[in-house]
Amino acid sequence: MSKACYVCGKRKISGGHITRRGLAKKKGGIGMHVVKNVKRTFKPNLQPARIREGATVKKVTVCTACIRSGAITKA
């Protein structure tokens, strides 16, 4: 099974998670300070599905957004 959506091609992408500490200025503090900046990956919600494509039936990996939108017809 592929790690990308069969319909839209959605795959994992990299990004970051910023950890902040402190009391916000509007709450009376001196402001939020960045403590840590960590790399992470954002993964799509991929599900195995049997789809009908013409007269054939295939087993493919599809993201839940494509399943909900009706981009595929389940077999």
- Asked if residue 34 is part of any domain, the answer here is yes
**Nearest CA to 10 among 50, 49, 43, 47?**
43
Q: How far apart are CA 58 and CA 73, in angstroms?
A: 11
* Number of domains observed in the structure of the chain: 1
Q: What is the residue range of 63's domain?
A: 13-69
- Asked if residue 57 is part of any domain, the answer here is yes
pLDDT (tens digit per residue) in 31-52: 999 999 999 999 999 999 999 9
pLDDT (tens digit per residue) in 15-29: 999 999 999 999 999
Predicted pLDDT at 1: 67
- Asked if residue 6 is part of any domain, the answer here is no
- Asked if residue 22 is part of any domain, the answer here is yes
- Asked if residue 74 is part of any domain, the answer here is no
